[in-house]
């Protein structure tokens, strides 16, 4: 569960090839970070993997199976949105349970899965609260809880911490890393923040204008950047 392969994947909007052609292997259990400047195609690439956008060309293979034509719900992936995507009128419990209700699961199963997710995310005492009665970090954890309950093969995060303040961001970074160690589920994490990439990733994919500049571990990229773009972006001493 949780391997993702992109073969020759491209995305064209109108006359603009936002992603000219990308090949990439993501191994089961890896924490992969897509990093690059604003507008370089990070979100587009993540949305292609999620199935929220159709590829213009190429193939997406998830767990060894061609998923290029599959709708998002059938890909076995969960996207984590920013915490403001919670339903304000619903309790934490109902927010976390929502995807399971949509999937038509029975009440006992839903209760159990919500409890399990709440335990992992330290939200057990907050299940009856509304989002506005929570701190920013707790809200972000509820957003993650909504992804966890579906027990996905991989989590997809698109800049989940960008609307949190600096101190909280550092905290949540750590929490997401710990969650990864605990669940050992593949995580694909998009950010424009080099520090987030360097501290969280097993593998960093540096993107620039829809192309991969380099793929490697944080240490690889720091010690052996392939080019000046990577060196400059990662802040290595080349
Ligand atoms: P990032 O997430 O790295 O900031 P995006 O993937 O959001 O970048 O965008 C990459 C490029 O694709 C940008 O030039 C953006 O304007 C363009 N783009 C993204 N989505 C669309 C769309 N639905 N239609 C047209 N252009 C788009
Ligand atoms: Mg983006």
Quick one: pLDDT band at residue 96, thresholds 50, 70, 90? very high
Q: Which residues neighbour ligand 2 (ion) by CB within 5 Å?
A: 43
pLDDT of 238 > 80? The answer is no
Separation of alpha carbons 170 and 164, rounded Å: 10
Helices (H), the chain: 42-50, 92-102, 107-120, 136-148, 166-183, 194-200, 218-223, 228-234
Query: How far are the Cα atoms of 6, 148, 156 from residue 61, in angstroms, in the given order?
Result: 6, 22, 15
pLDDT of 13 > 80? The answer is yes
Nearest to 77 by CA among 85, 67, 86: 67
Coil, strand or helix at 7: strand
Q: Which atom of ligand 1 lies at the shortest distance from residue 13's CA?
A: 25
Q: Whose CA is nearest to atom 1 of ligand 1?
A: 39
Residue 225 tokens read as 């950047």
113-171 pLDDT, tens digit each? 999 999 999 999 999 999 999 998 999 999 999 999 989 999 999 999 888 888 888 98
Q: Whose CA is nearest to atom 12 of ligand 1?
A: 18
State whether the beta carbon of 18 lies less than 6 angstroms from ligand 1.
yes
Query: How far are the Cα atoms of 32, 45, 74, 194 from residue 180, in angstroms, in the given order?
Result: 11, 21, 23, 19
Any idea what DSSP says for residue 72? G
For residues 186-205, give the mean pLDDT: 96
Q: Whose CA is nearest to atom 20 of ligand 1?
A: 44
Residue 41 tokens read as 């195609």
Q: Whose CA is nearest to atom 5 of ligand 1?
A: 41
- Which ligand has an atom closest to residue 39 CA? 1
Pocket test for ligand 1, best of 14, 18, 159, 189 (most atoms within 8 A of CB): 18
Respond yes or no on whether ipTM tops 0.85: yes
State whether the beta carbon of 40 lies less than 6 angstroms from ligand 1.
yes
State whether the beta carbon of 37 lies less than 6 angstroms from ligand 1.
no
Which residues contact residue 191 at a Cβ distance below 8 angstroms, ignoring those fewer than 6 apart? 33, 34, 35, 42, 159, 161, 162, 197
* C-alpha radius of gyration, the chain, whole number: 18
pLDDT score at 237: 66
Q: Whose CA is nearest to atom 13 of ligand 1?
A: 39
């Amino acid at each position: 569960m949780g391997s993702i392969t992109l073969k020759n994947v491209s995305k064209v909007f109108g006359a603009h090839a936002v992603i000219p052609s990308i090949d990439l292997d993501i191994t089961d259990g890896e924490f992969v970070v897509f990093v690059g400047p604003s507008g370089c195609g990070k979100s587009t690439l993540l949305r292609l993997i999620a199935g929220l956008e159709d590829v213009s060309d190429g193939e997406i293979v998830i767990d060894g199976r061609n998923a290029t034509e599959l709708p998002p719900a059938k890909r076995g992936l969960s996207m984590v949105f920013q915490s403001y995507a919670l339903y304000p009128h619903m309790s934490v419990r109902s927010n976390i349970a929502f995807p399971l209700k949509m999937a038509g699961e029975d009440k006992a199963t839903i209760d159990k899965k919500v409890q399990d997710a709440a335990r992992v995310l330290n939200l057990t005492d907050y299940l009856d609260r509304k989002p506005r009665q929570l701190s920013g970090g707790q809200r972000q954890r509820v957003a993650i809880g909504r992804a966890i309950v579906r027990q996905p093969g991989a989590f997809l995060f698109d800049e989940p911490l960008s609307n949190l303040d600096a101190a909280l961001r550092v905290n949540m970074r750590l929490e997401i890393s710990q969650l990864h160690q605990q669940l050992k589920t593949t995580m694909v994490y998009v950010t424009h923040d080099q520090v987030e990439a360097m501290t969280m990733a097993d593998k960093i994919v540096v993107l620039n204008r829809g192309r991969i500049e380099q793929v490697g571990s944080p240490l690889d990229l720091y010690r052996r950047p392939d080019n000046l773009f990577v060196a400059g972006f990662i802040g290595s001493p080349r």
